[in-house]
Chain A
């Protein structure tokens, strides 16, 4: 496991997203209400750029007409064919077992604990860290 410091928390506010290239892979990062998520920026279907997808919620129905809407902001729809992915796991909604994109652990870490990293950090700041 490698930890990558990608930005100070102050520069990656809630409601924003960004793309980073880590070890040759494009990874789409999202801050949803202070929680961080990371997905490989490539839909397993035809390769659509997930970083350009819309964040929506989970629409479900136990029976026809019985709609529910939950987890607002935590479901990503591919900008091309609309495949839905769970931001937390990378699993597709329609077939979570067989169709998924890779999810990465993303967290905010105090600069103090990151002093061993190769990227220069300031101890008084928190940083967004991606594990690959």
Chain B
């Protein structure tokens, strides 16, 4: 077996070194719940959190269902020198990531919020607090960073209220969900959320992970973290299938969906399969009016990380050719361990126009923004 090496000849400057890039998946954390979140959370819910904990649909009160490969699933070099969790110190994030990687536009995707918690009232209150916190502690301080509207999606009415509350604030660039919902995301209990996102002109961002309660495989819970991590790609495929077959994109032709942090190389094969299944059972899929691959080409985008890594990088480029260079939004997942380093993800022979689309222009177009 031959190996193509991604290393560039010395002396050649990667395009990304001069290109201001968009990073569509950055994970901020509060330095301290008391100082940063409590100001936005009613006293009652502060007490609730202390007494009962967050209680998502999983076994453990603290931490994830599957122990990660490293603490906080973070790069070990991402702990701020001044203390605190990775992703909690804006100055260090600038110094370690935004500045050296020339990030001109970064989307914050908070993972610890009220999303997927069993108590819907608490979920609602906690999501609101996280939204206010992003503005106060992050986007006001750093114009390169933009916020996500996190919503308690198992309660569509509360989610709509929160989208409407936040949508006027320019710093929010998307409505944010986790992909492991209680039911497949295309089902109608969630439709008011998509109506509200479309009405606000905001993309619907769907990030891997979550706490829907269903095992990540159709055969039940796997044993290992590697299975859980690999499984996010299957979850995203199920989410996309549900959204397409339930006709969400046909109801809302202006809705744009961004699938975050589940890679992308699975998309061509899924589209080939969905097209065939749709042709065969069109009479069952009465709400889905267009070929699935056509819907994807018009309304669906994916962030790149964690990029699949074939032994031959050329094969990944061929896969992007199938998807289309206008569909992918570069993301690092900073400060997490499966971070993608911008100057190492594409072979050097990919041309400048494609690189620009991949690293910058697609994101600015989807989010309707300019580089600040």
Task: Count contacts on A: residues with CB < 8 A to the other chain.
Answer: 15
Which residue of the partner chain B has the closest CB to A45? B344
Q: Is the CB of B70 within 8 A of A82?
A: yes
Q: Judge whether B57 is part of the interface by a CB distance below 8 angstroms.
A: no
The answer to whether residues A53 and B76 also contact, given A47-B344, A80-B339 and a CB cut-off of 8 A, is: yes
Q: How far is the CA of A98 from the CA of B76 in the complex (A)?
A: 25
Q: How far is the CA of A49 from the CA of B75 in the complex (A)?
A: 10
Which of chain A's residues have a CB closer than 8 A to the CB of B76?
52-54, 79-80
Please give the distance in Å from A109's CB to the nearest CB on chain B.
Answer: 31
Q: Is the CB of B344 within 8 A of A80?
A: no
Which of chain B's residues have a CB closer than 8 A to the CB of A68?
none
Q: How far is the CA of A49 from the CA of B78 in the complex (A)?
A: 11
Q: Judge whether A2 is part of the interface by a CB distance below 8 angstroms.
A: no
Q: Is the CB of B344 within 8 A of A52?
A: no
Q: Is the CB of B70 within 8 A of A46?
A: no
Q: How far is the CA of A81 from the CA of B338 in the complex (A)?
A: 5
Q: Is the CB of A81 within 8 A of B344?
A: no
Q: Which 3 A-B pairs have the closest CB atoms?
A: A79-B76, A52-B77, A46-B341
Task: Count contacts on B: residues with CB < 8 A to the other chain.
Answer: 14
Please give the distance in Å from B66's CB to the nearest CB on chain A.
Answer: 15
Q: Judge whether B69 is part of the interface by a CB distance below 8 angstroms.
A: yes
Provide 25 A-B residue pairs closer than 8 Å at the C-beta atoms, listed in order of the A residue: A44-B7, A45-B344, A46-B340, A46-B341, A46-B344, A46-B345, A47-B341, A48-B75, A48-B77, A52-B76, A54-B76, A79-B76, A79-B77, A80-B76, A80-B77, A80-B337, A80-B338, A80-B339, A80-B341, A81-B337, A81-B338, A82-B69, A82-B70, A82-B337, A98-B3
Please give the distance in Å from A35's CB to the nearest CB on chain B.
Answer: 22
Known: A79-B70, A80-B77. 20 other contacts (CB 8 A): A44-B7, A46-B339, A46-B340, A46-B344, A47-B341, A48-B75, A48-B77, A48-B341, A49-B77, A52-B77, A77-B70, A79-B75, A79-B76, A79-B77, A80-B75, A80-B337, A80-B338, A80-B341, A81-B337, A82-B70
Q: How far is the CA of A46 from the CA of B305 in the complex (A)?
A: 13
Interface residues of B in 32-58 (CB under 8 A from A): none
Which residue of the partner chain B has the closest CB to A79? B76
Please give the distance in Å from A64's CB to the nearest CB on chain B.
Answer: 10
Q: How far is the CA of A80 from the CA of B77 in the complex (A)?
A: 8
Which residue of the partner chain A has the closest CB to B338? A81
Which of chain B's residues have a CB closer than 8 A to the CB of A77?
70
Q: How far is the CA of A88 from the CA of B344 in the complex (A)?
A: 26
Q: How far is the CA of A53 from the CA of B337 in the complex (A)?
A: 12
**Can you list, as one digit per residue, whether each of A61-92 has a CB less than 8 Å from chain B (1) or not (0)?**
00000000000000001011110000000000
Which of chain A's residues have a CB closer than 8 A to the CB of B338?
80-81
**Can you list, as one digit per residue, whether each of B76-95 has a CB less than 8 Å from chain A (1) or not (0)?**
11000000000000000000
Which of chain B's residues have a CB closer than 8 A to the CB of A53?
76
Please give the distance in Å from A79's CB to the nearest CB on chain B.
Answer: 3
Which residue of the partner chain B has the closest CB to A52? B77
Which of chain B's residues have a CB closer than 8 A to the CB of A47?
341, 344
Q: How far is the CA of A82 from the CA of B338 in the complex (A)?
A: 9
Which of chain B's residues have a CB closer than 8 A to the CB of A52?
76-77
Which residue of the partner chain B has the closest CB to A49? B77
**Can you list, as one digit per residue, whether each of B278-317 has a CB less than 8 Å from chain A (1) or not (0)?**
0000000000000000000000000000000000000000
Residue in B75, B76, B339, B344 whose Cβ sees the most chain A Cβ within 10 Å: B76
Please give the distance in Å from A80's CB to the nearest CB on chain B.
Answer: 5
Please give the distance in Å from B139's CB to the nearest CB on chain A.
Answer: 27
Please give the distance in Å from A115's CB to the nearest CB on chain B.
Answer: 36
Which residue of the partner chain A has the closest CB to B311? A98
Which of chain B's residues have a CB closer than 8 A to the CB of A81?
337-339
**Can you list, as one digit per residue, whether each of A32-58 has a CB less than 8 Å from chain B (1) or not (0)?**
000000000000111111001110000
Which of chain A's residues have a CB closer than 8 A to the CB of B344?
45-47
Which of chain A's residues have a CB closer than 8 A to the CB of B7?
44
